[in-house]
């Protein structure tokens, strides 16, 4: 069971550690879905909506290792992203919650999520998503990049430091809305249950995270598709990315990869929040003892 006492006593350090570790766990488990989604969004020839079909085809043509191209970069980015996202969200949330009930209004939940998303996009998400996407794109065609570090050095040498921030606008729009919707939905559900005395069991936490994941995909998929196109090896501006998607598939193209992302996001939402709450519950008393001893 997730302790409400632990939730009430979360410190910034607990949010930082628990968020980072939860992000790493979630990314490691769900990466094949992310790979399939990115591949479909980059190449119009990959039109299957079945992520398992895409994964099977990649394994047959390129080998199992290709399926995890860019995974280490995304794990590093996810650890940083979720550490920043949870600590900034929890800090902002504490400033605006009702002192009597300890809850936030839906509007304030969303505002806290948007702010947290912009922060995490700037300091973690955009650079790591850019390298991950470039690696996945390169693995299908030229195969120039040996590893994430080689990819980073090559892109900077060819296009300057701004190369790792290619797609920043689309990524930040996606990240801000995703964080607002995911954390906002999750905390709205959690506050609803808290007021009504519903116990925060592991199953309830996983279900809340999964519902938040479905909501995220339904509302933010066009931003995700634009971000992926903008961060291909060749790169593109948001307008150019939109035009290329529209020319290929019309408005439906903006929702390309949604099945893959839905599969990953529903699973990821459950894993992320369940891991976060469980890790926070374990480390809060340990950090409290360390502080007391100091």
- DSSP-derived secondary structure letter, 237: -
Domain-located, residue 65: yes
| Predicted pLDDT of residue 4 | 43
The two three-digit tokens of residue 25, written as one number: 């766990």
| Predicted pLDDT of residue 293 | 44
User: In the block, which residue shows the tokens 């996606």?
Assistant: 174
Instruction: State the CB neighbour count (10 A cutoff) for residue 159.
Output: 12
| Residue 266: domain span | 4-288
**Arithmetic mean of pLDDT over the chain:** 77
Contact in structure between 127 and 29 (CB atoms under 8 Å): no
Question: What average pLDDT does range 142-153 have in this prediction?
Answer: 86
Domain-located, residue 204: yes
Domain-located, residue 293: no
Domain-located, residue 22: yes
Domain-located, residue 294: no
From its phi and psi, is residue 102 left (phi > 0), alpha (psi between -120 and 50) or beta? left
Domain-located, residue 116: yes
| Predicted pLDDT of residue 292 | 43
Give yes or no for residue 47 having a pLDDT over 60.
Answer: no
Per the structure, the count of domains in the chain is 1
Calculate what percentage of the chain has a pLDDT beyond 90: 2
Query: How many whole angstroms separate alpha carbon 148 and alpha carbon 156?
Result: 12
Query: How many whole angstroms separate alpha carbon 197 and alpha carbon 194?
Result: 5
CATH of the domain at 181: 1.50.40.10
Give the predicted TM-score (pTM) of the model: 0.58
Domain-located, residue 76: yes
Query: How many whole angstroms separate alpha carbon 69 and alpha carbon 147?
Result: 9
Contact in structure between 135 and 62 (CB atoms under 8 Å): no
The two three-digit tokens of residue 165, written as one number: 């921030």
- 103's CB contacts (< 8 A; 6+ apart) are 97, 191, 194, 195
């Amino acid at each position: 069971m997730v302790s409400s006492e632990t939730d009430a006593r979360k410190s910034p350090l607990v949010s930082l550690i628990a968020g980072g570790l939860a992000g790493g766990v979630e990314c490691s488990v769900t990466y094949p879905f992310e790979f399939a989604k990115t591949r479909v969004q980059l190449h119009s020839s990959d039109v299957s909506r079945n992520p398992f079909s895409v994964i099977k085809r990649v394994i047959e043509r390129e080998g199992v290792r290709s399926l995890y191209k860019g995974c280490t970069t995304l794990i590093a980015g996810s650890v940083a992203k979720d550490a920043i996202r949870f600590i900034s969200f929890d800090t902002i949330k504490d400033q605006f919650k009702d002192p009597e009930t300890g809850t936030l209004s839906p509007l304030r939940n969303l505002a806290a999520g948007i702010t947290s998303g912009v922060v995490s996009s700037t300091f973690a998400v955009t650079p790591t998503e850019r390298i991950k996407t470039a690696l996945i794109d390169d693995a299908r065609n030229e195969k120039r990049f040996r590893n994430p570090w080689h990819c980073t050095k090559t892109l900077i040498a060819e296009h300057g430091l701004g190369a790792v921030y290619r797609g920043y606008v689309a990524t930040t729009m996606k990240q801000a809305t995703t964080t607002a919707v995911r954390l906002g939905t999750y905390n709205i559900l959690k506050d609803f249950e808290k007021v009504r005395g519903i116990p925060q069991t592991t199953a309830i936490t996983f279900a809340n995270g999964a519902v938040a994941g479905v909501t995220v995909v339904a509302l933010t998929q066009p931003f995700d598709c634009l971000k992926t196109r903008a961060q291909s090896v060749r790169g593109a501006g948001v307008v150019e990315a939109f035009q290329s998607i529209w020319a290929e598939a019309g408005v439906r193209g903006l929702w390309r990869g949604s099945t893959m992302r839905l599969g990953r996001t529903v699973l990821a939402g459950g894993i992320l929040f369940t891991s976060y709450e469980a890790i926070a519950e374990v480390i809060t008393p340990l950090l409290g003892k360390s502080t007391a001893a100091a």
